[in-house]
Chains A and B, each alone.
Chain A
Amino acid sequence: MRFEFTQKRAVALAVALAIGTAAHAANPDRDAYFGETHIHTSWSLDAWLFGNRITDPGDAYKYFKGQPIKHPLGYEIKIDTPLDWAGVTDHSEYVGVIKFANDPNSPVSKLPAAQPLKIAPGKPMQEEMERIFVYGVKVLMGGPPVKALASPEIAGTVWKETADLANKANEPGKFTAFCSYEWTSMPNNMNMHRNVFFKDCGKIPSMPFSALDSPFPEDLWTWMDGQRRAGNDLLAISHNANVSDGRMFPTEVDFKGRPIDAAYAASRMRNEPLIELKQIKGTSETHPLLSPNDEFGGFEIMSFLLGDPSGRIPHIVGSYARQALKDGIAMSDTKGFNPYKFGFGAAADSHNTGVGYRQDNWFGAHGAADGMIETRMSGRLTAGMDPRVLGTAGLTGVWAEENTRPALFEAMQRKETFAVSGPRIRVRLFGGWEYTADMLNDTAWVKTGYARGVPMGGDLPPAKGKAPTFVVWAVKDPTSGNLDRIQIVKGWTKNGQSFEKIHDVVWAGDRKADKWTGVVPAVGNTVDVENATYTNTIGAVELKKVWTDPEFDPSLHAFYYARVLEIPTPRWTTIQAKQLGVAPPDVVPPTLQERAWSSPIWYTPSADARKGAQPGTTVAQLKKSGAAPLNDAQLKALIVQKSTWLANNVTGDKYEIVYGASGKSGKPAAPIEPTYVTQQFAANQGQFWLRFVGRKTTLPSMVGNALEASYLSTTAPYYINNGKIVTSQVGTPIEITVYKAGGKYLAARSNEFGYANYEIIPAVAELNPLGPIGTSPKR
């Protein structure tokens, strides 16, 4: 009988506990526990709108424990590998509105404010659902609170029921269920969402703090501090920075317009130790524009604004974690505080109560909108989102002594966590000064890892050697693809600039890194796109290495995190295209390399070490010495229609920028004039051309793909405005101010924290002077 089958697993699991089968004893070397930090059930307003009407938080826990449940469209869905822990995170805004709207005894169902939520009879269901969703997003989640729909009685009761269901599902040692919810702030379609987790379900407030109380993260943190003082320990995990329109990781002012300072940084780090790096609506690690040298940096990218507002282009700068980590250490260096010292997790954000984590078990995330293979694969836009671009859910891995609320929560607080893109790749990272290459021959190397250094999420102990050593280890998910390689992503900062470099540390097979380029060739590709299959005849089961930073500078702040890549495997769109007998879609790649990211380890130079740092020139110093910034006329005279050589005084790199003519208003010139075409641009707007940037140039943050621009001679627009040369990165302005000081022209970029790092220099004749043949040239 259908019913019996559904019930069997749940009962068996419950019974197993009752009989007292052995849960594992605490492990001081810690095990990896995989869990879900972001799931919506029918109790979330938007999930209900998507057609999720029948399953509740209790069903979510059943799903995670391995039982099949119903997809909103009525068919069964079942997880491949049960999870170790989870927290259901329904939106706290208007939570229970729909639940109590179904209860005719509730006044909610009779409210005029509920009228726009009603499906108009006679109109097509799908259109009505979308209209209501956009209304929900725009008005309920984006606008001022509709108080009538946000009754505290409703919210408080539902919150208590949520806690009850979590307690029922919680089995210490076997499965941990957290009390949690989502604070869904989305002012002006900018995603500022956070998931809030409580350590102990016995110590929670009677009502969650919702975005209707305040949409400002700063206020959420204030409330959280109050909760902690009252004995309710909690933490928040932000997500979808990629959809925050650049507001998730500000560097100048907070959401209330106040300058970012030590108090902001302390408050943010006290309350938000982790970010959700990857989920169904895209990856927030980095973007190819911000990391042009990261050949794997374009993974499941989705830049978008929820609610799909007309005429707005999402900002890239401020929307990605790696740049935030770099800005964080740059602030640490220049201002003494770091608000972006977070660890990583990954999750779902499915609105189906159940979640698809694997490419071959993907059933959409938004109820009826993408629940059928035909609707998904036809690219039917749901409130502006193409369901083919959505990816599978990720998971958060936590290294803890045991599977209990306190152990997992504390691991999250110390950031000993990692993110996976779906398959359960396990990764360890340790950083220290005394690890030796033969350490990994010892089966108890993990003990040495902990004893002689720090795990992921930690700060390197005080320096005890010339360069830090890192131990990295990863093993594949036994049901997924083999591993390709482990990389370590390093970020560092100097004089307001920040840099990144990706090191291939260990890889499968006998590939060799190219002597001159350093590139490790691709692992290969066994994917048969037509049949949507792959084989594990390439790649490795396990990779591990002890690695030393070859370019370590003890005077500079830095961070390191591990990224593990699988071999290419078919994407769900390729698999479902095969099922339908159609071509794989043209808007996403047919294959992908699933991956894991460890939380970073940070290095902070001691006061002594910092003394070795070469001091840079700050704008403040220039102003003090009487240097004045150039005004518009002086800037024009200096650069327009000139080819100017510049040096980056931090890195020593030299290059040329040609600033073309700006447009003029008035009578057009004759075609024979060189400016004939340029005059079609607006006044003050010209194009600039960057030349002679090579592969070995150490690119600072936010210069776009300078290398490519140099090779391909492509240009970008610039303006002169208010005494600044202005360029932009996808709508985020970068302003350059030029100072004349002692016969030199020095320039400061607005994203370099008050430093003037660039200098106009005489033309360079020889780009790469050769030393004795075979040696690296000196710069």
Chain B
Amino acid sequence: MVARLLREPLIQFLFVGLALFGAWHLWSPSAVAHGRAANRIVLTEDDVRQMTLVWVAQGRPAPTAEEMRNLIGTRVREEVLYREALALGLDKDDTIVRRQLARKMEFLAEDVSKLEEPKSGELRAWYDQHKARFALPPRASFRHVYFSPDRRGANAPRDAGAVLGMLAGQPMDAPRAAAAGDPFMFQSYYGDRGFDGVAREFGPSFARALLAAKQGAWTGPIASGYGWHVVFVESVTPERVPDFDEIEPDVKAAWIEYRREDVRSRMYQDMRARYEVVLPEANR
């Protein structure tokens, strides 16, 4: 029974967590809380030095004797009130304390999961299973001829269609293309632009249509937030998933994030399973 418990990941996490906190308490540089002998509050020279440093770090001259007395007094006051509050059990039955402790259980899991290093091969295996999340958005290089509704009103799409006919079979750099249409306020040619960049410039519906358009020829007309365009898609780099070796550090970062969520969720499920919850009739 005990052996089974000890194999429970949750118990293992708890041990690690407790060990961590034990170590922290022993070796933490945080001053005042040491020596919780009932009525002794100890401030060390290091504590005082730290208070001074922080004061000066705000761009103030070094604290005067009076200011120093105030700083120390504040610190002592904090500790006194803290201990008194504990003695009175102010931490019991308190919404905020309950919330804090619940959060702390979650922190435990997070912190512990951070310690984990992926076993050899585990990272690559996880990458293989979750390739889709690493996909790079598609990119395109294209030239376009613009037809402005400011100049052409409702005729813009018709004019675009006419120019498309004129450009049939023409190469991307055809002089006829450069001379056609209206001046565009930004660029006539976009090289290797990602989906986001095109969406930002023209609007998302144009970006989607562009990536779906026939490549290597003048095509369209496609509507954007700015009007109508006849486009020549020179090349499209489709959405691709980089090789593991190209992005190993990013895979690791994502894996850590995933593990954190996973651990938290499984930890909670384990804990939850050990409780019976009774609800009022109306809420069952």
* Across-interface contacts of B249 in A (CB, < 8 A): 18
Task: Give, as a whole number of angstroms, the nearest-CB distance from A35 to chain B.
Answer: 13
- Partner of B194 from A16, A213, A226 at Cβ < 8 Å: A16
Chain B 217-271 residues near chain A, CB threshold 8 A:
224-227, 242, 246-247, 249-250, 253-254, 257-258, 261
Asked, given contacts A18-B246, A152-B54, A443-B183, whether A478 binds B201 with beta carbons under 8 Å apart, the answer is yes
- Which single residue of chain B is at the shortest CB-CB distance from A125? B95
Which residues of the other chain, B, contact A475 by a CB distance below 8 angstroms? 185, 226
Expressed in whole angstroms, the Cα–Cα distance for A465 and B39 within the complex equals 83
Nearest Cβ in chain A — how far from B20, in angstroms? 11
Judge whether A223 and B137 touch: CB under 8 Å.
Answer: no
Q: How far is the CA of A21 from the CA of B257 in the complex (A)?
A: 25
A683 interface contact, C-beta 8 A: no
Interface status of B57 (Cβ within 8 A of chain A): yes
Also in contact, A109 and B97, with CB within 8 A (given A443-B183, A541-B150):
yes
The reply to whether the CB of A22 lies closer than 8 angstroms to some CB of chain B is yes
- In chain B, positions 183-207 with a C-beta closer than 8 Å to chain A are 183, 185, 192, 194, 196, 199-204, 206
Q: Which residue of A lies closest to B197 (CB)?
A: A24
- Of the candidate stretches B5-13, B100-108, B116-124, the one touching chain A is B100-108
**Chain B positions 148-182 with a Cβ under 8 Å from a chain A Cβ:** 148-150
B46 at interface, CB cutoff 8 A: no
Given the known A-B contacts A102-B99, A104-B104, are A19 and B202 also in contact in the complex, defined by CB atoms under 8 Å? no
Which A residues are in CB contact (< 8 Å) with B206? Answer: 478
A15 and B135 CA atoms in complex are apart in Å by 9
> Are the CB atoms of A118 and B148 closer together than 8 Å?
no
> A residues 7-40 with Cβ under 8 Å of B?
7-8, 11-12, 14-16, 18-19, 21-22
A21 to B194, CA, bound (A): 9
Contacts of A117 in B (CB 8 A): 96
**Pick from B50, B137, B148, B258: contact of A16, CB under 8 Å:** B137
Residue in chain B with minimal CB distance to A476? B225
- Given A18-B247, A148-B77, A7-B200 contact (CB < 8 Å): no
Query: Which residues 476-500 in A have Cβ within 8 Å of B in the complex?
Result: 476-480
Q: Nearest CB to that of B86 among chain A residues?
A: A110
A521 within 8 A of B: no
Q: Provided the pairs A12-B135, A102-B103 are in contact, do residues A153 and B59 lie with their beta carbons within 8 angstroms? A: no
- In chain A, what residue has the closest Cβ to B191? A22
A536 to B91, CA, bound (A): 61
Q: Contact: A508 with B58, CB < 8 Å?
A: no
Number of A-B residue pairs at CB separation under 8 A:
154
B79 CB-CB contact with A under 8 Å = yes
Which of the segments A202-210, A374-382, A451-459 contacts the partner chain? A202-210
Q: Does B94 contact A (CB under 8 A)?
A: yes
User: What's the Cα separation between A479 and B50 when bound, in Å?
Assistant: 54
Evaluate contact between A110 and B82: CB separation under 8 angstroms.
Answer: yes
User: Is B202 in contact with A478, judged by CB distance below 8 angstroms?
Assistant: yes
Contact string, B206-221, partner A, CB cutoff 8 A, digits 1/0? 1000000000000000
B100 & A101 in contact (Cβ 8 Å cutoff): yes
Check A7 against B257 for contact (C-beta < 8 Å): yes
**What 1/0 flags go to A677-701 for Cβ under 8 Å of B?**
0000000000000000000000000
A15 with B59: CB separation less than 8 A: no
Q: Which residue of B lies closest to A443 (CB)?
A: B183
Asked if A207 and B57 make an inter-chain contact with CB atoms under 8 angstroms apart, the answer reads yes
Point out the residues of chain B lying under 8 angstroms from A480, CB to CB. Answer: 225
Contact B78 A104 (CB under 8 A): no
Q: Is the CB of A7 within 8 A of B133?
A: yes
Listed residue (A21, A479, A541) with the most chain B CB atoms within 10 angstroms of its CB: A541
**CB proximity of B231 to chain A, nearest CB, Å:** 15
On whether the beta carbons of B57 and A119 are closer than 8 Å, the reply is no
Determine whether the beta carbon of B253 is less than 8 Å from that of A110: no
A209 to chain B, nearest CB (A): 6
Q: Which of B135, B137, B150 contacts A540 (CB 8 A)?
A: B150
B134 touches A15 (CB 8 A): yes
| Contact present for A147 and B247 (CB under 8 Å) | no
**Residue-wise interface mask of B (19-41) relative to A, using a CB-CB cutoff of 8 A (1 in contact, 0 not):** 00000100000001100000000
Q: Does A705 contact B (CB under 8 A)?
A: no
Q: Is A4 an interface residue (CB 8 A)?
A: yes
Determine if A187 is an interface residue (Cβ-Cβ < 8 Å): no
Q: Are B225 and A112 in contact (CB under 8 A)?
A: no
Say yes or no for B42: interface residue by CB 8 A criterion. Answer: no
How far, in whole Å, are A206 and B93 apart by their CA atoms in the complex?
38
Interface 1/0 per residue, B72-102 and A, CB below 8 Å: 0010011101100110001101111101110
- Answer whether A15 and B242 are a contact pair too, CB < 8 Å, given A111-B78, A156-B57: yes
The residues in A between 94 and 135 inclusive whose CB is less than 8 angstroms from any CB of B are 101-105, 107, 109-112, 117-119, 121
Q: How far is the CA of A14 from the CA of B253 in the complex (A)?
A: 10
Rounded to whole angstroms, the CA-CA distance of A105 and B22 in the bound complex is 12
The answer to whether A8 and B247 have CB atoms under 8 Å apart is no
Q: In whole Å, how far is A532's beta carbon from the nearest beta carbon of chain B?
A: 19
> Known contacts A15-B246, A109-B97; can you find 8 more A-B pairs with CB under 8 A?
A8-B133, A104-B97, A109-B96, A112-B81, A148-B74, A152-B54, A477-B225, A478-B203
- List the interface of chain B (C-beta within 8 A of A): 24, 32-33, 50-51, 54-55, 57-59, 74, 77-79, 81-82, 85-86, 90-91, 93-97, 99-101, 103-104, 107, 130, 132-137, 139, 148-150, 183, 185, 192, 194, 196, 199-204, 206, 224-227, 242, 246-247, 249-250, 253-254, 257-258, 261
Q: State the 8 A-B residue pairs at the shortest beta-carbon distance, nearest first.
A: A478-B225, A152-B54, A478-B203, A206-B57, A110-B82, A8-B133, A540-B150, A102-B103
A-B contact pairs, 27 of them (CB 8 A): A3-B261, A4-B132, A8-B133, A11-B250, A11-B253, A15-B136, A18-B247, A82-B196, A101-B96, A104-B100, A109-B96, A109-B97, A110-B90, A110-B91, A153-B54, A156-B54, A209-B59, A473-B185, A476-B225, A478-B202, A478-B225, A478-B226, A480-B225, A536-B149, A540-B149, A542-B148, A542-B226
